[in-house]
Amino acid sequence: MEGLTLSDAEQKYYSDLFSYCDIESTKKVASNGRVVELFRAAQLPNEVVLQIMELCGATRLGYFGRSQFYIALKLVAVAQSGLPLRVESINTVKDLPLPRFGASKNEQESRHTTSYSSDTENQGSYSGVIPPPPGRVQVKKGSVSHDAVQPRTSTDQQESTSPVVSPQQSPPTSPHTWRKHNRHPSGGNNERSLAGPGPFWSPFSEAQTGSSAGDAVWSGHSPPPPQENWVSFADTPPTSTLLAMHPASVQDQTTVRTVASATTANEIRRQSSSYDDPWKITDEQRQYYVNQFKTIQPDLNGFIPGSAAKEFFTKSKLPILELSHIWELSDFDKDGALTLDEFCAAFHLVVARKNGYDLPEKLPESLMPKLIDLEDSADVGDQSGEVGYSGSPAEAPPSKSPSMPSLNQTWPELNQSSEDTAIVHPVPIRMTPSKIHMQEMELKRTGSDHTNPTSPLLVKPSDLSEENKINSSVKFVSGNTVADGYSSSDSFTSDPEQIGNAVTRQRSHSGTSPDNTAPPPPPPRPHPSHSRSSSLDMNRTFPVTTELCPLKSETVHFWLCISRTSKNKLHTGQQQAGVVAHPPAVPPRPQPSQVPGPHVHRPVDAEGLITHTSTSPQQIPEQPNFADFSQFEVFAASNVNEEPDDEAEKHPEVLQVEKSSDPSGSLRVAKTDGRIEEKTAASAPANVGKSTTPLAPPPKPIRRRLKSEDELRPEVDEHSQKTGVLAAVLSSQPSIPRSVGKDKKAIQASIRRNKETNTVLARLNSELQQQLKDVLEERISLEVQLEQLRPFSHL
């Protein structure tokens, strides 16, 4: 060829381009993908490109030497300027603009390409090849890196799709096809479109035939030209032959591809410009993968079984060996099933492979499933990758067991459970009658008059009383109870749904009617002086009069609900605490005995509750003020009181103590205890540990108080703040006098107090819940880490 004189700008530009294409640094650019792409990016008709190649001598030589390359570039500029291609024009045409290449393999090209790319279907000088999808060209920039499969695919996608997308593209299809074939010598499918992985499953078959033919002819080229696929400049010699096939195959491919990925491809291209991370999944791709996942497994958190995945990926027409390898890479936990992340990684690898990228030996980090959404996910990924890769040592690379994926899902639950142990919450004591109470409460809430004979409350006063007793005993269970009680109430008020009878609960405290003796008295606080308990001035709240029985029952019911729900939530560990704190004594019953019940529930101050409950039926109205610890004290003081109230109160205490069954003992204690016990046993497994068996009834209240104090103390420390708040709230409430006399006023006052207490407790509860969640999360993360580490420590 004639000597080529280049201006400085041209020189530099060409040099850059040559360097870009000269991936092997041999100073001799073979007709590899880059060159092909580059020329394709020039958006010149294929014929022109061919002509250029011939002119520059590449056809002759079979490769692009630097001079040939420069000449070719010059000719491209000439062609782009609309001038006829002549050898002489190389030097004769002055002031030629630098050749512009649509596909942005490089930044260099991108500079030019951007202008072109997008949108227009290459009309103008670029006629054509480039993909109509607007994004394509731009994508080029990103896709330059060969590693960026995505760009490639997207480009391809764009190309392929373009023909389908717009009629304008049809002309370009041939170049497209050409390109496509050229580009990808890699085995198999020309489907370069990594970008459009999904839609092309079916097209694969068609495309395959076409492309394979093309490829076969074409092959010779450097393997997976990572880049720009779409630009693949047909390698000179084979191009012509390929061209013939290309149009057919390409069109097949293109049509096929189009499907969904057109747009995605564009975007993917655009976004995939991560040279350093060729395996990164772009958003579009990810979305596509997720959609495909959904077609197999609607639940995004579920697994795709191995057989289904095998079928799906077999459609890609990759050899089984490669699919097997892809599976090995992507099945992170080696459980034979694919989670969403694993599936995306596998899909991505398949797409990459189809586009000619070699499969990595190790799962790239960006493809590793995020087992833990914590900071150590990277570590996990690395380890997992290593493990998965090496196979053996990883006895369970990040937990081979399927539990790994489930860990993510179970974290919340685990968190909660662990939280339970760590945090004192009112352990809901499940009391069998609680259901009844719930109903009653609901009925009450729903407006059924407590006096209504049909009201469940009235129907089962005995049950309520029992529940009350149980609740109260529960309250005494452990220190947690204090907190639990609070939280229960808080939760109760704040999260009515949790408890189930949201409406009822809320209503219970609303004291809509005098009968609503406030929420069941909070679990008996161990000691009024107890920090926690003091926050809830249970004593004050407890002097509920018997008249408030109906309310009491409600409140008790309320507490039961709370306890139950909280118990459910805080299943492990803390149950004791939680339960105890649970719904204060049974809603006030008409019977005096019921009075103590609701109070008892409050774990806050078991004794207080007890005392409170035992105070007298008069206290029922005050029961809503379960937080009134003074009640507990009163109760404790009235231990000896043989009143049925005491019994009722004692029940909670007894219950608290745990399934202590100290049925004997004082009358009331025995009776209540027995009942409480059975209730507690049924309801609060947690209570077991905490509460001591209230053996001697008379001393029980005292004992329990002490015990609960101790128990509460640690928890109190944790929740001192909360309790402080509660205490403040409660303390503000006037102690409820035991006198039965001031029913109305007392009731209303107690209702008020109870309401306040409820809100405070609800707040506390929510805070505790949050703490629980946090701790559980931590625990889960630690467990995951442990599992990951475990395999290594094995061998």
Partner 1 sequence: MAVCIAVIAKENYPLYIRSIPAEQELKFHYTVHTSLDVVDEKVSAMGKALVDQRELYLGLLYPTEDYKVYGYVTNSKVKFVMVVDSSNTALRDNEIRSMFRKLHNSYTDVMCNPFYNPGDRIHSRAFDNMVTSMMVQVC
CA pair distance 604, 580, nearest whole angstrom? 8
The single residue listed with the structure tokens 């289904």 is 308
Binding segment for partner 1 (CB under 8 A), chosen from 1-9, 255-263, 389-397, 552-560, is: 389-397
- Assess 26 for contact with partner 1 (CB under 8 A): no
CB count in 10 Å sphere of residue 390:
11
Binding segment for partner 1 (CB under 8 A), chosen from 40-48, 300-308, 526-534, 750-758, is: 300-308
The single residue listed with the structure tokens 């072109």 is 116
Task: Report, in Å, the least distance between residue 329 CB and partner 1.
Answer: 8
319 vs 447, beta carbon nearer partner 1: 319
28 vs 790, beta carbon nearer partner 1: 790
Binding segment for partner 1 (CB under 8 A), chosen from 330-338, 446-454, 470-478, 640-648, is: 330-338
167 vs 393, beta carbon nearer partner 1: 393
Q: Do residues 729 and 536 touch, judged by C-beta distance below 8 A?
A: yes
745 vs 794, beta carbon nearer partner 1: 794
Task: Report, in Å, the least distance between residue 95 CB and partner 1.
Answer: 56
**CA-to-CA dists, residue 404 to 372, 464, 725, angstroms:** 9, 45, 41
Convert residues 246-285 into a mask of x (bound to partner 1 by CB under 8 A) and - (unbound): ----------------------------------------
Binding segment for partner 1 (CB under 8 A), chosen from 130-138, 176-184, 328-336, 779-787, is: 328-336
Task: Report, in Å, the least distance between residue 335 CB and partner 1.
Answer: 7
Phi, psi (degrees; rounded to nearest 5) at 618: -60, -25
Task: Report, in Å, the least distance between residue 296 CB and partner 1.
Answer: 13
- Assess 315 for contact with partner 1 (CB under 8 A): no
The single residue listed with the structure tokens 């006629």 is 127
CA pair distance 258, 203, nearest whole angstrom? 9
Binding segment for partner 1 (CB under 8 A), chosen from 5-13, 302-310, 437-445, 576-584, is: 302-310
The helix or strand, by DSSP H or E, that contains position 285, with its residue range, turns out to be helix 283-296
69 vs 313, beta carbon nearer partner 1: 313
27 vs 794, beta carbon nearer partner 1: 794
Phi, psi (degrees; rounded to nearest 5) at 104: -95, 90
Residue 28's DSSP bridge partners are 65
Give a three-class secondary structure readout of 311-354: HHHHCCCCCHHHHHHHHHHHCCCCCCEECHHHHHHHHHHHHHHH
- Assess 309 for contact with partner 1 (CB under 8 A): yes
Task: Report, in Å, the least distance between residue 439 CB and partner 1.
Answer: 51
Binding segment for partner 1 (CB under 8 A), chosen from 82-90, 332-340, 456-464, 699-707, is: 332-340
Binding segment for partner 1 (CB under 8 A), chosen from 321-329, 507-515, 676-684, 764-772, is: 321-329
CA pair distance 1, 75, nearest whole angstrom? 12
394 vs 636, beta carbon nearer partner 1: 394
Task: Report, in Å, the least distance between residue 160 CB and partner 1.
Answer: 27
Return the DSSP state at 524: E
Task: Report, in Å, the least distance between residue 277 CB and partner 1.
Answer: 22
- Assess 794 for contact with partner 1 (CB under 8 A): yes
For partner 1 (CB under 8 A), the number of binding residues is: 30
Task: Report, in Å, the least distance between residue 191 CB and partner 1.
Answer: 20
Task: Report, in Å, the least distance between residue 324 CB and partner 1.
Answer: 4
- Assess 677 for contact with partner 1 (CB under 8 A): no
What type of residue is 657?
A: V
3-state helix, strand and coil shares in percent for the chain, rounded to the nearest 5: 65, 0, 35
- Assess 790 for contact with partner 1 (CB under 8 A): no
Task: Dig out the tokens for 80 from the structure.
Answer: 């782009």
Give a three-class secondary structure readout of 187-200: CCCCCCCCCCCHHH
Task: Report, in Å, the least distance between residue 331 CB and partner 1.
Answer: 7
- Assess 331 for contact with partner 1 (CB under 8 A): yes
CA pair distance 562, 564, nearest whole angstrom? 5
200 vs 313, beta carbon nearer partner 1: 313
- Assess 786 for contact with partner 1 (CB under 8 A): no
CA pair distance 558, 489, nearest whole angstrom? 8
Output b/e per residue, 99-117; b: 16+ Cβ within 10 A: bbbbbbbbebbbebbbebb
- For 304, the 3-state DSSP assignment is strand
CA pair distance 70, 766, nearest whole angstrom? 72
Instruction: By CB under 8 A, name the one of 328, 449, 710, 778 that touches partner 1.
Output: 328
37 vs 331, beta carbon nearer partner 1: 331
Task: Report, in Å, the least distance between residue 342 CB and partner 1.
Answer: 12
Task: Dig out the tokens for 251 from the structure.
Answer: 């069109």
Instruction: By CB under 8 A, name the one of 18, 279, 327, 635 that touches partner 1.
Output: 327
* Interstrand relation of 304-305 and 337-338 (parallel, antiparallel or unpaired): antiparallel
Task: Report, in Å, the least distance between residue 357 CB and partner 1.
Answer: 16
400 vs 540, beta carbon nearer partner 1: 400
Instruction: By CB under 8 A, name the one of 11, 92, 390, 770 that touches partner 1.
Output: 390
Residues numbered 393 to 412 that lie near partner 1 (CB under 8 A) are 393-395, 400
Q: Do residues 20 and 222 touch, judged by C-beta distance below 8 A?
A: no
Task: Report, in Å, the least distance between residue 100 CB and partner 1.
Answer: 43
Residues numbered 351 to 380 that lie near partner 1 (CB under 8 A) are 361
Instruction: By CB under 8 A, name the one of 10, 147, 335, 537 that touches partner 1.
Output: 335
Task: Dig out the tokens for 214 from the structure.
Answer: 């093309």
Task: Report, in Å, the least distance between residue 271 CB and partner 1.
Answer: 30
Give a three-class secondary structure readout of 32-64: CHHHHHHHHHCCCCHHHHHHHHHHHCHHHHCEE
Q: Do residues 653 and 639 touch, judged by C-beta distance below 8 A?
A: no
Task: Report, in Å, the least distance between residue 194 CB and partner 1.
Answer: 21
276 vs 361, beta carbon nearer partner 1: 361
Task: Report, in Å, the least distance between residue 394 CB and partner 1.
Answer: 7
Task: Dig out the tokens for 497 from the structure.
Answer: 């749904």
CB count in 10 Å sphere of residue 389:
16
Instruction: By CB under 8 A, name the one of 9, 300, 320, 378 that touches partner 1.
Output: 320
Task: Report, in Å, the least distance between residue 201 CB and partner 1.
Answer: 16
Task: Report, in Å, the least distance between residue 696 CB and partner 1.
Answer: 53
CA pair distance 555, 623, nearest whole angstrom? 8
CA pair distance 656, 650, nearest whole angstrom? 9
- Assess 350 for contact with partner 1 (CB under 8 A): no
Residue 64's DSSP bridge partners are 29
- For 65, the 3-state DSSP assignment is strand
CA pair distance 550, 747, nearest whole angstrom? 12
Instruction: By CB under 8 A, name the one of 26, 291, 307, 732 that touches partner 1.
Output: 307
Q: Do residues 545 and 631 touch, judged by C-beta distance below 8 A?
A: no
- For 756, the 3-state DSSP assignment is helix
Residue ranges that bind partner 1, judged by CB under 8 A: 305-307, 309-310, 313, 320-321, 323-325, 327-328, 331, 334-336, 361, 388-395, 400, 791, 794-795
